[in-house]
Amino acid sequence: MRTYQCYQVDSFTREKFSGNPAGVVLDATGLQDTEMQKIAREFNNSETAFLFPTQEQTHDVAIRFFTPLQEVPICGHATIAAHYVRARELGLGRQCIRQKTKAGILPVDILPEGDDYHIQMTQGAIEFGSILSGQTMAQLLCALGIQPEDLISPSALPIQIVSTGHSKVMVGIRSRKLLDTLQPGLEALAQISRQIGCNGFYVFTLHPDSDILVHGRMFAPAIGIAEDPVTGNANGPLGAYLVRYEYAPAEDARFRFTARQGEAIGRAGTVKVEVSVKDRIPQKVCISGNAVIVFHTELHLDDK
């Protein structure tokens, strides 16, 4: 009999039953790919993280991420969750952990806060993909239930695919009320994902006069996520995107902001984003947040 320590963790919050839930398997040694996929489906969170110890010199821990339908290269909130659990269980002090993912070896900073932790992850390489226009843009707006006049000027902030490891389509709109009432056509979005090779759509509003710059919602039905409550892999790329289009000047070579997500589905959470900037070009993206363990259980599987 194999025994695995499994955790349900809410990320980007300190309140249970809010933020973004992730499954965490603290030491997944011995699990086959098919078993990890079944465990992720059983957790039924947007992502479940599986940690693997390593003896290699290049990294401190390996980690894999599965949605209920498939493996993905990286996940922000599940990274926060996994390293929060690891820090608590191992009693870690302030340190930088090198995690090996399918998006590369990326640093994660463990930041003690009293008797708790704040977790910061550096995301992968910034990539700006296709700008959606013409018929594809029209199909997307129809699927989202958005009119062209609802958009922030596409000449200022175009609808574009952006990635820091797991790409999202950035869609800026003017109205917070519209954002909160969107009821997108999920099958239509999944079909568009197959056409453009990008599985997530991040619809956001901007509030420059508030402590919360961004409110957003992220839909990724093509990979089994109707709506993700709080998305590191959307807000991180958004930071790079806002720098690229000169939304806000970066002070001291840093662009920092706070984003709020999940409010429309009753799972509000907060993510902090920091973009390093050189010559007005985004260089590196970090996201950070808190977490809370909701429950811990053991999973027993028959030996193979």
Catalytic residue positions, numbered: 47
Distance between CA atoms of 138 and 143, rounded to whole angstroms?
9
Give CA angle at 213 (198, 119), nearest 5°: 70
**Which amino acid, 46?**
S
CA–CA distances in Å: residue 225 to residues 81, 199, 287: 18, 9, 21
- 147 three-state secondary structure: coil
Contact assessment for residue 151 and residue 171, using Cβ atoms and an 8 Å cutoff: yes
Distance CA 61, CA 73 (A): 15
Q: How far apart are CA 241 and CA 127, in angstroms?
A: 10
Residue with tokens 């990890």: 36
Please answer whether residues 62 and 102 qualify as being in contact, where contact means their C-beta atoms are separated by less than 8 angstroms: no
Return the closest-CA partner of residue 230 out of 209, 249, 245, 212: 212
Q: What tokens does 114 get?
A: 């009293």
Give me the half-sphere count of Cα atoms (radius 13 Å) on the Cβ side of residue 78.
28
